[in-house]
Amino acid sequence: MTHLLFHLRKPPHGSSAGEEAVEAILATSVFEPGITVLFEGDGVLQLLAGQQAGALGLRDVAANWTALPVYEVEDLRVHEPSLRQRGLSRTDLILDVTLIDDTGMTALIHQADQILAF
């Protein structure tokens, strides 16, 4: 089985990276069960609860992430130092995630057979 890692480092607004990532993850999950999603840097903001994107005239991408468990994409990892740097914690996020440190993130990246970065 191939271990596929989706690595998100961009914020939810200002580019289409988040929307493209969630669409790619959902489409891939139908055929590939070994998916891990890693949120690092500004990518942790993808999962931030209470986003008011509509007030800016933008599409609310955060709601798309809630579909991941329905598609059995449950291996969600968040780089805990990235959360802390932004003054956030696990309770600020819309999904249940596993927090990892720098060592865990490095190991996860090295274990992946393929990495798709967004």
Residue 64 binned pLDDT confidence (cut-offs 50, 70, 90): confident
Residues 95, 38: Cα–Cα separation, whole Å: 13
Percent share of the chain, pLDDT over 90: 71
Q: What's the confidence (pLDDT) of residue 54?
A: 58
pLDDT score at 49: 84
Sign of dihedral through CA atoms 32, 116, 5, 29?
Answer: negative
- What is the predicted pLDDT for the residue at 1? 66
What residues does 115 pair with on adjacent strands?
5
Residues 15-33 pLDDT 10s:
888 889 999 999 999 998 8
Order of all β-strands in the sheet with 4-8: 98-100, 76-79, 35-39, 4-8, 114-117
Whole-number average pLDDT of the chain: 90
The full set of domains in the chain, from first to last, is 4-117 (3.40.1260.10)
- Beta bridge partners, 78, equal 39, 99
